[in-house]
Amino acid sequence: MNSTPSRLEQHLARLLPTTPPPTVGRNPLQPRAKVDFVYLTGADQDRLDDTVRQ
Amino acid sequence: MTDTRTIRSHDELISYIRHLMGFHPESSLVCVSVGGGPHSRIDLPHSPEGMEQLLQQLSDVYLHRHPVRRLALVAYGEKGYDCLEALTSLSATLNYGGGGPEIGPMLWVKGDQWYDVLNDSRGTVDPVVRDRVDAEFALMGRAIPTGRREDLAAAMQGDPSGVAEHLVAAEARVLDMDTSANVAEVRWLRSCLDGFLETGKYLEDDAAARVLAIIHDSGARDAAVFRMSRENAPAFSDFWQDLVRRAPEEVRDSPATMLALSSFLDGKGAKAWTALDQMTEGDRLADMVATALEQAIDPAVWDKAAPVAAQALMQHAALRDTTAHERSSHDHRRRGPGIEETGPASSAPGR
């Protein structure tokens, strides 16, 4: 693996800070628990919404 | 009649969640976003500090990063007190001061039994409803989740012996490549990935070794990364998981990184985290995937942002290709016939 970031890595590095920063201060001594996020495709989200709306 | 409909909805929601997650949650708090936005699962905390951290992480996501209209909260666990504390604490945190998402239903699930915290009702998941939800997913070609989250890691373990037989020769071949041969190998890798999208056939051992040998190259990895989109991420997730399973230990990190990225793009955070857990050394791309997972970045942004970067990459690759071709032609004239045979062998991907 080269030590110089590839163009892709440079692009991704620019992409990441565009999301809002955490609004609450983190305790640096405490490791963060892993949150498993799931993003559904449009069709799957529609189906879920129908289920919960019943 | 109203009760019947409510119970049925809870049954469907609970039956749906294991398909949503891809496994059976255990000792977990699951947030199901209604109307769009990220869904999430986190381990139930075992200490006040852990609870504070859970509330901080989830409120940061659902109040600030990705505000959602409505959340269903479902706690899974044997201990009622832990589950109810997590549910009520998160609900109160998200509603503090108003302006948070509507919360409901709010369920504690223990085995097949559920308890609705908001209306103090309880029931047992109807197996008929569960089977119907399973059948709907089966009709869509989805596998029925049968394991726990821990089983995701087991599914990434396999037998590396077949690929190992070809790996030394494949790596030696890559080390001997000049620029022109390297460009041709990257082109072969792209055709290999496109072939998998068309046929779904996993690679033969020799081709798998060849992919593992070249994917260390940042140019090859960039090319493979830009073949991914939100739409084809499930297929590429299969492709890279197969290679993680078959890769010898010393070359496993690269396919694991690609699996993490494709799983992130597929919207499957647990699988992406599990792929990152397979890594033995630090890696910039893997670190970026971890950051994206921590920040709950919507993978849909990839499809908007990647083409711009991909275009720049393609232009760079085309320039590199032209330069390599000119250099190769020059070398060919200088050295005489036969020198272009240093290019990649013509073994075709696919089984």
Coil, helix or strand at residue A26: coil
Could you tell me if B314 and B173 are in contact, meaning their C-beta atoms sit under 8 angstroms apart?
A: no
- Counted across chains A and B, CB pairs separated by less than 8 A come out at 141
Contacts of B226 in chain A (CB under 8 A): 8
The DSSP secondary-structure symbol of A52 reads H
Interface test with A, best of B5, B60, B212, B304 (most A CBs within 10 A): B60
Contact at CB, B13 and A51, closer than 8 angstroms: yes
User: Per the structure block, which two tokens stand in for B279?
Assistant: 């890594």
Q: What is the pLDDT of residue B295?
A: 87
Residue closest to B68 by CA, chosen among B41, B38, B97: B38
Instruction: Report CA-CA distances (Å) from B13 to B109, B319, B323.
Output: 11, 53, 57
Could you tell me if B43 and B51 are in contact, meaning their C-beta atoms sit under 8 angstroms apart?
A: no
Which one is predicted more confidently, B152 or B308? B152
Interface test with A, best of B150, B295, B313 (most A CBs within 10 A): B295
Rounded to a whole number of angstroms, the distance from the CA of B338 to the nearest CA of chain A is 31
**Nearest-by-Cβ selection for A16 from B21, B49, B292:** B292
Contact at CB, A8 and B13, closer than 8 angstroms: no
Contact at CB, B45 and A33, closer than 8 angstroms: yes
Rounded to a whole number of angstroms, the distance from the CA of A12 to the nearest CA of chain B is 7
Contacts of B312 in chain A (CB under 8 A): 7, 11
**Nearest-by-Cβ selection for B269 from A19, A20, A36:** A36
What is the mean predicted confidence (pLDDT) over B106-124?
A: 95
Contacts of A28 in chain B (CB under 8 A): none
Residue closest to B267 by CA, chosen among B224, B303, B243, B242: B303
Contact at CB, A33 and B53, closer than 8 angstroms: yes
Q: What is the pLDDT of residue B313?
A: 54
Contact at CB, B295 and A16, closer than 8 angstroms: yes
Q: What is the pLDDT of residues B229-247, one digit of tens each?
A: 999 999 999 999 999 999 9
Rounded to a whole number of angstroms, the distance from the CA of B208 to the nearest CA of chain A is 19
Instruction: Write down the mean pLDDT value for chain B.
Output: 86
What is the mean predicted confidence (pLDDT) over B11-40?
A: 93
Nearest residue of B to residue A8, measured between CA atoms: B222
Residue B260 pLDDT grade (very low, low, confident, very high; cuts 50, 70, 90): very high
Cβ-proximal residues to B198 (8 Å cutoff; 6+ apart), any chain: none
Q: What is the pTM of this model?
A: 0.83
Contacts of B49 in chain A (CB under 8 A): 30
3-class secondary structure per residue, chain B: CHHHHHHHHHHHHHHHHHHHHCCECCCEEEEEEECCCCEEEEECCCCHHHHHHHHHHHHHHHHHHCCCCEEEEEEECCCHHHHHHHHHHHHHHHHCCCCCCEEEEEEEEECCEEEECCCCEEEECCHHHHHHHHHHHHHCCCCCCCCECCHHHHCCCCCCHHHHHHHHHHHHHHHCCCHHHHHHHHHHHHHHHHHHHHHCCCCCHHHHHHHHHHCCCHHHHHHHHCCCCCCCHHHHHHHHHHHHHHCCHHHCHHHHHHHHHHHHHCCEHHHHHHHHHCCCCCCHHHHHHHHHHHCCCCCHHHHHHHHHHHHHHHHHHHHHHHHHHHHHHHHHHHHCCCHHHHCCCCCCCCC
Q: What is the pLDDT of residue B315?
A: 59
Contacts of A46 in chain B (CB under 8 A): none
Cα(B242)–Cα(B15) distance, rounded to whole angstroms?
28
Nearest residue of B to residue A44, measured between CA atoms: B20
User: Per the structure block, which two tokens stand in for B186?
Assistant: 């990257």
Contacts of A8 in chain B (CB under 8 A): 218, 221-222, 225-226, 285, 309, 313
Q: What is the pLDDT of residues B279-336, one digit of tens each?
A: 999 888 899 899 889 989 899 888 776 666 655 555 555 555 555 555 544 444 443 3
Cα(B60)–Cα(B269) distance, rounded to whole angstroms?
17
Q: What is the pLDDT of residue A16?
A: 62
User: Per the structure block, which two tokens stand in for B28?
Assistant: 């977990």
Residue B273 pLDDT grade (very low, low, confident, very high; cuts 50, 70, 90): very high
Contact at CB, B299 and A49, closer than 8 angstroms: no
